[in-house]
Amino acid sequence: MDQITIDRAHDILGLIDIQPTFMPGGALAVPDGAAVMPIANRLLADRFDHAFATQDWHPAGHSSFASAHPGRAPFDTIRLAYGDQTLWPDHAIQGSAEAALHPALDAAKIALIVRKGFRPAIDSYSAFFENDRTTATGLAGYLKERGFARIFFAGLATDFCVAYSAEDAARLGFQAFVIEDACRGIGMPAGAGRTTMDLARGRLDGLGVRFVTADGLG
């Protein structure tokens, strides 16, 4: 991979859902999820002057929880008003310690925190839109007004919230990058021998999202 020089004035690090609920021992643990922490902190210390973060922030009984649908189990898929919805274990409950940004994350350069999934009837993967694909978080306007042109994404999970955020960033006119070693994915089966990681990679490649490593950023 080519070395990419970070423009510290106009590039921003997007930290996606770096929360205990997605770490080992959390309610919706991403395999090896804790491995993103030291890399994210190194990027914050050495590469980026600007960052934003997202938090999953669900009310109890959220419509994306399997527990809200009698007879359904986590990782089932149902149809809601806005389309197909994967059902999850209860996680990232508002105000809980698991829903906080991870306490070991260096928050000094995080200028904005976007909370998503707080509407009881709509789940939210992307930093930019709820899962109805029309309800905006306002992040795009903030980034454009601040003059950021390139977004480098790190966090959890690669195939869900990171991928949807990078996808929307590209569609909104930003240059989007996924820092692969600063992310971890779930890798759920998606049929035909593929996983959700395969599907996410295909969508992002098609939109011109670039995959990079932390060491490839100078």
Which residue in the list 56, 90, 161, 183 is annotated as catalytic? Answer: 161
- Selecting among 11, 17, 90, 168, the annotated active-site residue is 17
Calpha distance 91→18 (Å, rounded): 13
> Crossing angle for the helix pair 196-206 and 163-171, nearest 10 degrees?
20
Decide: helix, strand or coil at residue 214.
Answer: helix
Residue of 116, 123, 159, 183 marked active site: 116
For 57-206, list the strands marked E by DSSP.
Answer: 77-80, 83-86, 110-116, 150-156, 175-184, 189-191, 194-195
Q: Is 17 a catalytic residue?
A: yes
Catalytic annotation present for 183: no
Contact 139, 114 (CB under 8 A): yes
116 is catalytic: yes
Residues with active-site annotation: 17, 116, 161
